Amino acid sequence: MARPALDELLDTNRFEYAQFGVTCLRGLFDPAIIAALADASRAVIERPLEHGGAGYMRGPMTAVNFVYRCPGVFRDFALASPAGEIIGRVIGSRTIRMYHDYVFSKQPGCTKVVPWHTDGGGYALSGQMMPNLWVALTPTDETNGRLEFIGGFHVEFAAKRWSERRKSADSIEQALPDFDDPDETFTKACPRLAWNLDPGDAVLFHPYTPHHSKANRSGATRTGYALRVVGDDVAWCLTKSRWLQIPGIDYEAVTDGAPVTDDETFPVMWREA
């Protein structure tokens, strides 16, 4: 799509992302590619170690990461689809690189509730331009574990350095407000946002936007493909969490404060001409 047409199409998304830290993208990806991703995701879920890392969740809720590292439809989508340009245009970055990815699946009847958290709080990175693009590969709604967001809290998160707060000294869990408490200040001040998604729809959200997902009470599997990316202002920050182990990266060999520039480990998805 030509730049002027894409820029105009994304005007509302830019506004929503800046104000709320999340925006819904509809109808921007080729249905044939989405169908191929959905088909490939079933093999990933059934045999995760053949396709990537087993991630931190298995069983009824599965998370398989770094699937884009293998040749095939996930890599094609990450590096050859409009995803990188769409992200760059929305967040205002001239370059978008892959950081890592996940295939997420919740099986029918899965009772797992993912607690409120932010993605950026768990990365050894600083900066604001490291969003998550979560692409629905199956219909996603309130019955099967859609993502829910706390709109606008990303501004508070960055201003008050919430990324440095933990539930305890030895915990990697973030200390966030209780967004399920109706009397909590931020529950009152920040809107709770969620969208029902058809396959190919997506949500793009800021690294410091709190989000969670509930149980899958439906009779169908809910699957999404998440791309975590880095843009122009992102640098290594080794005082933050290093829980995410990235194949090919030795944190002891990384220079604190240096930009993320390794083309092999973090390939460019899109760069503005």
Residue 55 has pLDDT above 80, yes or no: no
What pLDDT is recorded for position 167?
53
HSE (CB half, 13 Å, CA atoms) of 137? 26
**3-state secondary structure string across 153-189:** HHHHHHHCCHHHCECCCCCCCECCCCCCCCCCHHHHH
pLDDT recorded at residue 162:
56
DSSP state of 81: S
The answer to whether residues 226 and 102 touch, using CB atoms and an 8 Å cutoff, is yes
* Per-residue pLDDT at 166 exceeds 80: no
| Higher local confidence (pLDDT), 61 or 140 | 140
Q: What number is the average pLDDT over the span 45-72?
A: 82
130 with 206: CB under 8 angstroms?
Answer: no
- pLDDT at residue 77 tops 60: yes
Give the pLDDT confidence score for residue 240 in this predicted structure: 82
Instruction: Please tell me the predicted confidence (pLDDT) of residue 52.
Output: 77
Residue 8 has pLDDT above 90, yes or no: no
Q: Do residues 209 and 22 touch, judged by C-beta distance below 8 A?
A: yes
What percentage of the chain carries pLDDT values higher than 90? Answer: 69
Rounded mean pLDDT, 172-200 = 87
- CA–CA separation, 84 and 255 (whole Å): 26
**Residues 16-29 pLDDT 10s:** 999 999 999 999 99
Amino acid 169: pLDDT: 47
For residue 41, the SS3 value is helix
pLDDT in tens, 105-160: 999 999 989 889 889 878 899 999 999 999 999 999 999 999 999 999 998 876 66
171 confidence band (pLDDT: 50, 70, 90): very low
pTM for the model stands at 0.92
User: Which tops the pLDDT comparison, 165 or 239?
Assistant: 239
170 has a pLDDT exceeding 70: no
